[in-house]
Amino acid sequence: MSRSVAGLLALLALLAALPFFVGPYLLSVLTLVLFLAYTGQAWNVMMGFAGQLSLGHSLYVGVGAYAAGALFFHFGIGPWAGVWLAMLLCVALGLAIGFLAFRFRISGVYFALLTIAFAEFTRVGFDHIGWLGGPAGMFLRVAQRDTWDFANFRGPPLMYYYTMLALAVAAFILCAWLLRSRAGYYWQAIREDEEAAQALGINSFRWKMLAVAVSSAMTSVSGVFFAFYYNNLFPEQIFHISRSIEILIGPIVGGVGTLFGPILGAAMVTLLADGLTDALMALGWDIPGFKRVFYGVVLLIVIIFLPRGIWPALARRLGLHA
Amino acid sequence: MLEVRHVSKSFRGLRAVRDASFQVPEGAINGLIGPNGAGKTTIFNVIAGVYAPDSGEILLGGRRIDGLRPDQVCAAGVGRTFQIVKPFAGLSVLDNVIVGALHREGSVSAARGRALAILEKLGLAAKRDWPASSLTLPDRKRLEVARALATRPRLLLLDEVMAGLRPTECDQMVQLFRGINRTDGLTILLIEHVMRAVMALAHHIGVLHHGEVIARGMPEEVVRDPAVLECYLGEETDV
């Protein structure tokens, strides 16, 4: 255990120091890695811990982004207030979907389909909300790129990098704590065998609802970050299913249900995808949609050779506890 | 302690349990036997809250528990095992039992303490860090019992925990249940095919056939009852 902690602290020190050694492009890639590690961690609470497969997590990213974005755009209210609205809306949505699914015993593939359906019709719905820009998108004012205006979350790329790093660390600690708490035990029991869990006195409806609430609340923060980092929001992009896939590919490659899997997976997939895209560009091959094909191939390879993900296998090699 | 009154349960026209009534007094070990398809597991599932009965009442310590959800039945004090064992395969043996112990314990550390004590009692302590999926069948059956006991039940429902065990393992289980029954005063209702175990354990036996209770009494009486012999062996005919 202490070896794991030492390894994590070393990794944290490395990540804290990295911005001083890399250029702006690589910094943006690393920010994306941390963004996906954080969001993957959030998705993992639902699927990895409680066994509820969501293929529609773009819903929470999108609603979170639009909630905080709209407050800033229309009323000049900063993200520190906006994040609470984002969280509230996302948790309400998550609980509504969870209620529909769990109350009427929709599970497995059917639950996954329900999550896709909600993300998709929210996407279509947002195309028709003129107040939020509709399909033409919503653009947040970009100013003061050089100074850290933390109150309005406006500043240089470095600020976004460190914010995302702090969020990723916080999510890791939160998940580590959750996994060792009553909720973690109950979620894993439900994941492994819901009927047996109920026979041991676990109200599976209530604990699955909690998993959805925690996961959607965490993901809403990703959305707020997204809005203030990219400064432009289009329903077509933010609610798209490819965003949901991008979120879940990290934890699946890294190891579903593990704490370190989402981080490792996000790093490997993002760095490889961007690295390969750059390499192909350098060779003069600009292949549209390359990333998606790459994700598909990676997913196939992992599912065939390491169905539990890379981290459990790697941890065993390193003699660490997964 | 447990009172089943005129309980019936049908599945799409198949009457799995018909007007079944029986009682399990406090501190007793009672058995429910019967040929395959007699409705034993259905009765268990109705008691445990998996199904609500179509008619009839189930009382635990005088309180109605029919129609409650499985987790509420557990909270009322009923622990159960599954005929087809259901370990939390991805969790360790210890974590499996901690899940059960958390039901009555306020903290994970207290639950761990209780779980360890129960594993000790069931002879699984040495395997506490094994993944549950790596256990042999007899150990999985023990784990089912350990997990159910961890919820601190007043009544334990055992669904064929002896099936698939060797005679010596079966005798160990019998000793274990006798011990728990004597020291903790735990009431036990068991469904069993292994007559060796039922005869050794049960104070009182009910026989179920086509969903109906056709005989009841002391083990020695029941096995000599012509109606019971008939349902197991077929009717006597002159050749």
What does the pLDDT look like over A171-212, one tens digit per residue?
999 999 999 999 999 999 999 999 999 999 999 999 999 999
Residue of B108, B148, B151 with shortest CB distance to A181: B108
Q: State residue A144's pLDDT score.
A: 63
pLDDT in tens, A288-297: 888 888 888 9
pTM exceeds 0.90, yes or no: yes
Residue bearing tokens 């708490």: A181
pLDDT score at B155? 96
Chain B residues with beta carbon closer than 8 angstroms to that of A181: 108
Decide: A261 and A311 in contact? Cβ < 8 Å.
Answer: yes
Q: What is the token pair recorded at A34?
A: 């941390």
CATH numbers and ranges of domains, chain A = 2-318 (1.10.3470)
The per-residue pLDDT for A293 is 86
Strands (E), chain B: 2-11, 14-24, 29-33, 55-60, 63-64, 78-80, 155-159, 187-191, 204-209, 212-217
Question: What domains are there in chain B, each with its CATH number?
Answer: 2-77+153-233 (3.40.50.300), 89-144 (no CATH)
Q: Which residues of chain B have pLDDT under 50?
A: none
pLDDT, tens digit (0-9, with 9 covering 90-100), for B57-116: 999 999 999 999 999 999 999 999 999 999 999 999 999 999 999 999 999 999 999 999
Give the closest of A191, A192, A201 to B103, CB-based. A201
Cβ separation B86–A203 shorter than 8 A: no
Separation in Å, CA of B31 to nearest CA in chain A: 21
Q: Is B91–A192 a contact, with Cβ atoms under 8 angstroms apart?
A: yes
Chain A residues in contact with B103 (beta carbon < 8 A): 200-202
Give the nearest chain A residue to B132 (CA atoms): A192
Q: Smallest CA–CA separation between A215 and chain B, in Å? A: 22
Residue ranges of chain A whose pLDDT lies below 50:
none
C-beta separation of A195 from B81 below 8 A:
no
Tokens of A277: 């895209």
